[in-house]
Structure 1
Amino acid sequence: MGPRTQDQTEILIDGLSFVLAASVDLDAVQREVERAIETPGQFVRFTAAGNRRVRVLITPTSRVTFVTEDVAVSSSDPVMSRNDEGDWDFL
């Protein structure tokens, strides 16, 4: 049996990067972003890795990218997330 894997999704919003918590419904966040860009500005809320609650203002000029990759995990693998300064933290 090969290594255990799971999807990990990173969302980049105007250059800021967040790794979504595994429990987040990616399709729901994507729909919220799509609705928000049709308004003058609307907050979108989601949970990032490390149980960080994020609220970001999305406008028609916001640039949002979702990147999902299959990553190998084991019980001993550290989980990483970017902090507010853009550096990686172990969770």
Structure 2
Amino acid sequence: MGVKVDVICKIGVVSDYYNLIHRHNINNYFLCKVEFFGEKDLTEDERNNFHLSTLKLSYEEAVREYEYRSNTRLGKIIANRELPVLHRAKEIIDI
């Protein structure tokens, strides 16, 4: 994604299974400090099929975005997975 970071700590792992699409995800979460944003080095598949992009949001903006998007079934699933991790990251930063 073109971002150089220093890893501060591992926040945790979330393992979830989506029955409707028979998909098992294992997500590893890390709290990182961004050193710099550089050029993206994406594969053709990442560019054409996943449409990956980098968002730079504050904690408050990210929480609002997850809450706003949780009005759809997929958005709710994603928010239920991501918001607790985001809140935990904020707790660690505020210590």
TM-score between the two structures when normalised by the length of structure 1: 0.23
Q: Which has the higher helix share?
A: 2
Structure of higher RCO (CA pairs closer than 8 Å, 6+ residues apart):
1
Larger Rg: 2
Q: Identify, as 1 or 2, the structure richer in strand.
A: 1
